[in-house]
């Protein structure tokens, strides 16, 4: 009986060993049994943006601008072509004075500003930077230059007509004062012609009886003279 039980125990050991070996042999097959999943993703490639608008200036060049141009004087008109077709909004930059010129944001009309052109800005080359933008579109910039003419030199006489002068007035007796307005601010040199009875101070512009006095032959007669102001 003892031997028989030992034989059966040995058989059980063999059977258990085979079961463990079969279990380890099955592990690679379980690991290889995987699942592959695929996801499809879609999107949209946006269309290329429209090109920026092209600014057209009419006229394409600016004629010399008078320094005395009144407010509202039209200089040029800006418009656009191309882009996305939407109306453009115009802006202005790069002017010598902030209020010298203005541009209508809708019509593109560039004109002299409400305050006119200050004398200090006369005689300068003026650069205009005009910008145009379209809603939902691009922006463009056009730069154009124009000359603001120097302010004309104007002679002012005080009093407007010479004071009456006696035939025997002493040399140097003043009869009138000449001055100027506008111009470019540089010094003035004065000269007088048309008579020998009167002279003008080349620096101050004062008109007076000549050093030799008034000629007796000119007494009781009207007189006239020409005044010249030279600004360098």
**Could you report the per-residue pLDDT of 90-104, keeping only the tens digit for each?**
999 865 445 789 999
Question: Is there a single domain that holds both residue 173 and residue 203?
Answer: yes
* pLDDT for 77 beyond 70: yes
Question: Does the residue 175 lie in any domain?
Answer: yes
Beta-bridged to residue 228, according to DSSP, are 191
Mean pLDDT computed over every residue of the chain: 85
87 lies in some domain: yes
Question: Is residue 9 in some structural domain?
Answer: no
148: pLDDT strictly greater than 50: yes
Helix (H, G, I), strand (E, B) or coil at 9: helix
pTM: 0.59
Do 221 and 186 touch, CB atoms closer than 8 A? Answer: no
> If DSSP codes are grouped into helix, strand and coil, which group holds residue 57?
strand
Q: Find the mean pLDDT for residues 213-227.
A: 96
Q: Looking at the domain assignment, is residue 195 inside a domain? A: yes
Residues 202 and 126 in one domain: no
Q: Are both 191 and 221 inside the same structural domain?
A: yes
Same domain for 132 and 65: yes
What residues have CB less than 8 Å from 63, skipping those under 6 apart?
A: 146
pLDDT value at residue 199: 98
φ and ψ at residue 7, rounded to 5 degrees: -65, -40
The answer to whether residue 39 sits within a structural domain is no
Domain holding 122, by residue range, is 53-147
Q: The domain spanning residue 64 has which CATH number?
A: 2.60.40.60
Task: Indicate the number of domains in the chain.
Answer: 2
State whether 131 and 158 are in the same domain.
no
Q: What's the rounded Cα separation, in Å, for the pair 83 and 92?
A: 20
Q: Do 217 and 162 have their domain in common? A: yes
Question: Confidence class of residue 191 from pLDDT cuts 50, 70 and 90?
Answer: very high
Is position 17 within any domain?
A: no
């Amino acid at each position: 009986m003892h031997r028989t039980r030992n034989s059966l125990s040995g058989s059980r050991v063999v059977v258990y060993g085979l079961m463990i070996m079969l279990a380890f042999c099955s592990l690679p097959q379980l690991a290889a049994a995987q699942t592959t999943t695929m996801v499809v993703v879609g999107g949209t490639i946006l269309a290329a943006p429209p090109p920026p608008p092209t600014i057209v200036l009419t006229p394409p060049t600016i004629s010399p601008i008078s320094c005395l141009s009144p407010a509202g004087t039209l200089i040029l008109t800006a418009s656009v072509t191309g882009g996305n077709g939407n109306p453009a909004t115009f802006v202005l930059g790069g002017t010598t004075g902030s209020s010298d010129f203005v541009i209508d944001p809708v019509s593109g009309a560039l004109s002299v500003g409400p305050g006119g052109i200050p004398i200090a800005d006369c005689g300068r080359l003026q650069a205009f930077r005009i910008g145009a933008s379209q809603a939902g579109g691009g922006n463009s910039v056009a730069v154009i230059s124009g000359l603001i003419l120097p302010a004309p030199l104007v002679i002012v006489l005080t009093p407007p007509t010479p004071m009456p002068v006696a035939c025997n007035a002493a040399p140097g007796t003043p009869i009138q004062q000449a001055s100027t307005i506008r111009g470019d601010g540089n010094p003035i040199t004065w000269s007088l012609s048309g008579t020998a009875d009167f002279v003008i101070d080349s620096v101050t512009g004062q008109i007076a009886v000549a050093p030799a006095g008034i000629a007796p032959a000119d007494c009781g007669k009207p007189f006239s003279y020409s005044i010249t102001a030279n600004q360098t």
